[in-house]
Structure 1
Amino acid sequence: MTKFSYLPLAAVLLLLAGCNQTPPATEQSAPAETAATPTTPEAAPAADTATAPAAAPATPAAAPAASTTQNLTISFAFKPGAAGPDRKTAAHLVVKGAKNQDIDLGQFSGKPDVVDKEKAKLAGFPGDMLMGFRSYDPGSGTSYDLAVMNVGGNTLRIVQRKVEEQADKAPEFQTSREVPLPANSVVQVAPAKK
């Protein structure tokens, strides 16, 4: 009879030991983690979303870098040269922006004629030029062509050629000078003065 009384008592003790809410001493090394850990599967996703913003703080490096563009306006300026029989004109490339520049392009015969896109195409100027001009010396039958191009957004390339009136074919333009531009420059051509 004593066997029957110990058996139900042992079963009740095992059942109570299995329902014990305190973990064994080996699992109590991180009590804060066990207290915050959800016990139901429905609570687990809610806990993950609640801690996600705190786990991924915004960093200044993740923000896109602010890029500032610098607007530049370019134009030609023609000034009469020294009085003389050859009637030379000084040509200048004027760059207006944060830092203004006046670039001497040299002396040309007569008053240079600024070419528009239509004239430039007929005369064989570079297709990607921003602006250009042609100077003609009637005494020698020679014309001098000059074009300004934007190369890579950070350089103005000035190209020139000398065209003889008797030449079968116009020579290629040659680079005469390159002018570095500030980073992030946007180049615009000033309207021609009439």
Structure 2
Amino acid sequence: MNASNMNALNTNEQNVQNPAHNKLFAVLASATVVVVLALLSAFVWPGWALNHETVATKSNVAMPKTPSIQAKPLPASSTALLKSMPDTVLDFARVDAIPSANWTESSPLEEYSVKYSTGQANSEVSVTVAQWSNRDSANKQYETLVDGLKGSDVASGKIQVDGKTVGSYVLRTAENDKTQASALWQNDTAVFEITGPKQAVERFYHNFPM
């Protein structure tokens, strides 16, 4: 084969190969663009990729609604006020109930300290409850206790029963420890105060039946 024929043959082979090479290059370039755009979207669009596992994990977490420990029975001689303290609240169970003297200066008819726990560390809350002979005396004690809570407000408002206001409530973090909190409320002639870890107090008081 002479040189001119060889050159012609090479030229024809190049012409045949070039379209295939061009198509392959176009496919690879398109795939690269898609990958780059996907990576960019994962970091630019909030919640598309980086937060996906976190959101899925959070949605699958459910707090227990029943206790894993037994409630401590109340004494047979318990008064109506003490008997009104529930055995359980969500996964909290009563672990102790004793007479209290925290508010004796305001002369309540009766006063108790009732403790609840889930059985886990940092889950215990303490409930102080007392009752007075009239609503005004209970309200006076409530106001005194509110004045003594120096932390930051988390929630506050009025307590209504059948459309009638029967008291008030406030939830505050501890002044020197934001992980601790107190929930305080008056319901007619009774006053309640719940203290403990903030998350435990919030869960507990939202579901406390009184």
The two structures have a TM-score, normalised by structure 1, of: 0.36
Q: Which has the higher contact order (CA 8 A, sep 6+)?
A: 1
Answer 1 or 2: which has greater strand percent. Answer: 1
Question: Which one has a bigger Cα radius of gyration?
Answer: 1
